[in-house]
């Protein structure tokens, strides 16, 4: 997933631009089988009962905003458990059968964040458990959009966001990243709409609204995904393509021209892409995050459609998850850096390969700046700045900071610098290959690295100071820093501007989004209205189609009390649903009494356009003050 916090994500994002195991193949991994560690965020007992396959048969009612149907689980009760326990969140259970016979089930009281455990009596020989159910109005994974909230404004739209523990709000399941299963689905939607899943997908609208899906590779529940809407498809090459609303398809196809090449580049780095097709679905504007790496079908924010392909590196991040996250998956949300740190690192390697080192250096530097800011925010002694997190009793989304992404990727960059790129790359290819479709804990990874890459290399171990990174706070002193070649040129142009050289005389030829971000981020905390106006007149920031630059510009405008771009800012807030943009912008407004009034007025007007997850964090920030 592309992180959603402040500007931190930028890097990841545009840079272009935003989550196990089955059968052990090598001896080294034999001890790490599914669910060897306790995942405190699932109430299920999938450590006793093996969840093998899901047969999902659901109907999507766009008017009632409800999914209903049955989930049939094929299980293997080798350990003779007396009950199967599944995760649910705000589901109404209509009936439960085991091997075709009705059974008395119980639904526990709701636990904060986790939902209600569904307890189903089973026996050693039980094979098939069917649960018929309906989703509730508080389904955290589901965003139901009225036609007005879509790009084309003609038909309603539904999409899911199951990471981290929201799959249980639309499917009764064992909802932990360490539990994998294959699935088939039959989905019925209103005629004329297309349905897509994290599976083998159609490219055509079905005549009767019925769709069938197959995912024959085992995935965890957080990668279950569904989108329903007025969607059309355009091919990029023979294994990649793009889905979007008809009014967005041409722009989206143009923006993603290089996605096929990107998959080839990723394969050259870390081995074969194992999921068949790689398609991208561009969602309506309310999507709360940058992107979600749903297997075979990345969900992405329309804010990457900048018109000039300058933000598509977000796709490099989601694509990289096809290895780090989807193929080798963090065992629990405490090990989240294994998904996101690896993916940020991999994303920058893809970008380096495609656009050159000086380009990826900019991404590394912006990421480093985000890391510094985030550590400052969390406190440099905070345990939340360890790579290995401790999310017990908390919402796993509390771990969704820059730490797993940026501290994680910088740790990997340090390893690369220490042992040499060739040696590290060979190690990563082997790591992905030996642990494909398996789960990884932080401890298992460190042991694996210790017995392979760092075997007989005490010198490197001494240099790395691994414990300070993984089980220590803040930014370790040996944190690597990228070359600043391009940003030094940007910095000197900024200094010229601050010394009253007219903005029109600055040398900004060929600047990318990253250079503009560096230019603006390093401005003094509050520019004068006169300075803001000079910049706006010269570079038209307030009307930029680039969401990364627009968001930063609006934040600076609020800070400087420069009101000229407020109409454009309101337009931006009325459509964009990405938390990474909304939270810092509303946050800046909330710093003054006048701004608070504006934030409350705008939020009351546009709250309905935002995803439930974005509403949750913004409610806390704006309504409760």
Which CB atom, from 363 or from 590, has the smaller least distance to Zn ion? 363
**CB-count exposure of residue 421 (10 Å: 0-12, 13-18, 19+):** exposed
Which CB atom, from 12 or from 81, has the smaller least distance to Zn ion? 12
Contact between 292 and 225 (Cβ < 8 Å): yes
Which CB atom, from 56 or from 314, has the smaller least distance to Zn ion? 314
**CB-count exposure of residue 463 (10 Å: 0-12, 13-18, 19+):** middle
Q: How far is the CB of 11 from Zn ion (least distance, A)?
A: 12
Contact between 169 and 135 (Cβ < 8 Å): yes
Which CB atom, from 164 or from 544, has the smaller least distance to Zn ion? 164
Q: How far is the CB of 2 from Zn ion (least distance, A)?
A: 5
Per annotation, catalytic residue among 278, 405, 448, 586: 405
Longest dimension (CA), the chain: 81
DSSP states of 232-301 as a string? EEEESSSSEEEEE-HHHHHHHHHHTTTHHHHHHHHHHHH----SS-EEEEEPPTT-SSSEE--TTEEEE-
Q: How far is the CB of 254 from Zn ion (least distance, A)?
A: 24
What distances in angstroms separate CA 407 from CA 19, 484, 610, one per listed residue? Answer: 17, 19, 29
Which residues would be at the binding site for Zn ion (CB under 5 A)? 1, 18, 340, 343
Question: What is residue 115's three-state secondary structure?
Answer: strand
d(CA 416, CA 419): 6
Q: How far is the CB of 325 from Zn ion (least distance, A)?
A: 7
Which CB atom, from 194 or from 403, has the smaller least distance to Zn ion? 403
d(CA 624, CA 342): 37
Instruction: Identify the helix (H) or strand (E) that includes residue 99.
Output: none
Contact between 16 and 315 (Cβ < 8 Å): yes
d(CA 285, CA 62): 18
Which CB atom, from 222 or from 431, has the smaller least distance to Zn ion? 222
Token pair in block for residue 137: 């109005």
Is the bond preceding residue 164 a cis peptide, omega within 30 degrees?
yes
Write the Ramachandran bin of 548: left for phi over 0, alpha for psi from -120 to 50, otherwise beta.
Answer: alpha
Which CB atom, from 332 or from 343, has the smaller least distance to Zn ion? 343
Q: Which residue is nearest to Zn ion (CB)?
A: 1
Per annotation, catalytic residue among 293, 318, 416, 548: 318
Q: End-to-end distance of the chain based on CA atoms, in angstroms?
A: 30
Q: How far is the CB of 204 from Zn ion (least distance, A)?
A: 30
Which CB atom, from 198 or from 343, has the smaller least distance to Zn ion? 343
Which CB atom, from 231 or from 391, has the smaller least distance to Zn ion? 391
Q: Which of 549, 552, 595, 603 is nearest to 574 (CA)?
A: 603
Token pair in block for residue 73: 């689980």
Place of tokens 């409610």: 619
Instruction: Identify the helix (H) or strand (E) that includes residue 118.
Output: strand 116-121
Cβ neighbours of 83 (radius 10 Å): 19
Q: How far is the CB of 3 from Zn ion (least distance, A)?
A: 7
Q: How far is the CB of 238 from Zn ion (least distance, A)?
A: 26
Check if 405 is active-site: yes
d(CA 37, CA 441): 8
Q: How far is the CB of 339 from Zn ion (least distance, A)?
A: 7
- Helix 485-498 × helix 357-378 angle, to 10°: 70
Q: How far is the CB of 324 from Zn ion (least distance, A)?
A: 9
Check if 318 is active-site: yes
Give me the active site residues, please. Answer: 318, 405
């Amino acid at each position: 997933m592309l992180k959603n916090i402040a500007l931190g994500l930028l890097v990841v994002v545009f840079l272009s631009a935003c989550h196990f195991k089955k059968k052990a193949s090598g001896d080294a991994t034999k001890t790490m089988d599914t669910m060897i560690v306790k995942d405190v965020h699932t109430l299920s007992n999938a450590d006793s009962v093996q969840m093998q396959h899901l047969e999902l048969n659901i109907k999507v009612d766009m008017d009632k905003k409800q999914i209903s149907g049955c989930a049939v689980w094929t299980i293997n009760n080798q350990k003779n458990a007396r009950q199967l326990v599944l995760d649910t969140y705000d589901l109404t259970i209509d009936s439960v059968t085991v091997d075709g016979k009705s059974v008395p089930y119980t639904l526990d009281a709701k636990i904060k964040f986790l939902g209600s455990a569904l307890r189903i009596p089973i026996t050693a020989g039980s094979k098939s458990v069917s649960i018929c159910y309906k989703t509730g109005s508080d389904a955290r994974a589901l965003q139901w959009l009225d036609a007005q909230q879509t790009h084309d404004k003609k038909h309603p739209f539904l999409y899911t966001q199951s990471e981290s523990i929201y799959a249980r709000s639309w499917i009764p399941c064992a909802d932990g990243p360490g539990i994998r299963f294959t699935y088939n689905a039959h989905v019925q939607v209103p005629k004329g709409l297309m349905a897509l899943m994290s599976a083998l997908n159609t490219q055509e609208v079905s005549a009767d609204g019925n769709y069938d899906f197959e995912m024959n590779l085992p995935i965890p529940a957080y990668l279950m995904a569904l989108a329903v809407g007025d969607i059309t498809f355009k091919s990029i090459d023979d294994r990649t393509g793009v889905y979007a609303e008809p009014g967005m398809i041409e722009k989206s196809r143009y923006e993603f021209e290089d996605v096929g090449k990107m998959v080839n580049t990723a394969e050259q780095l870390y081995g074969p892409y194992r999921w068949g097709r790689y398609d991208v679905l561009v969602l309506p504007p309310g999507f709360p995050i940058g992107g979600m790496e749903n297997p075979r079908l990345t969900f992405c924010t329309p804010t990457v459609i900048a018109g000039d392909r300058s933000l598509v590196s977000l796709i490099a991040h989601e694509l990289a998850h096809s290895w780090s996250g989807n193929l080798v998956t963090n065992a629990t949300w405490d090990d989240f850096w294994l998904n996101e740190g690896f993916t940020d690192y991999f994303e920058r390697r893809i970008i380096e390969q495609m656009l050159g080192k000086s380009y990826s250096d900019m991404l590394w530097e912006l990421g480093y700046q985000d890391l510094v800011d985030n550590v400052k925010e969390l406190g440099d002694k905070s345990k939340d700045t360890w790579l290995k997190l401790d999310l017990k009793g908390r919402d796993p989304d509390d771990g969704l900071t820059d730490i797993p992404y940026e501290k994680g990727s910088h740790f990997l960059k340090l390893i690369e610098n220490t042992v040499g790129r060739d040696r590290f790359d060979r190690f990563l290819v082997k790591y992905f290959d030996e642990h494909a479709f398996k789960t990884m804990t932080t401890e298992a990874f460190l042991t694996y690295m210790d017995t392979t890459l760092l075997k007989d290399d005490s010198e490197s171990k001494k240099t790395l100071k691994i414990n300070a990174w993984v089980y220590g706070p803040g930014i370790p002193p040996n944190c690597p820093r990228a070359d600043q070649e391009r940003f030094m040129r940007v910095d000197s142009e900024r200094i010229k501007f601050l010394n009253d050289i007219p903005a029109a005389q600055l040398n900004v030829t060929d600047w990318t989004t990253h250079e503009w971000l560096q230019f603006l981020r390093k401005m003094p905390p509050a520019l004068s209205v006169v300075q803001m106006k000079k910049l706006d007149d010269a570079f038209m920031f307030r009307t930029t189609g680039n969401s990364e630059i627009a968001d930063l510009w609006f934040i600076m405008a609020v800070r400087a009390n420069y009101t000229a771009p407020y109409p454009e800012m309101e337009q931006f807030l009325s459509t964009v649903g990405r938390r990474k943009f909304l939270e810092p912008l509303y946050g800046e407004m909330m710093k003054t009494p006048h701004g608070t009034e504006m934030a409350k007025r705008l939020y009351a007007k546009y709250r309905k356009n935002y995803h439930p997850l974005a509403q949750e964090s913004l409610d806390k920030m704006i309504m409760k003050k």
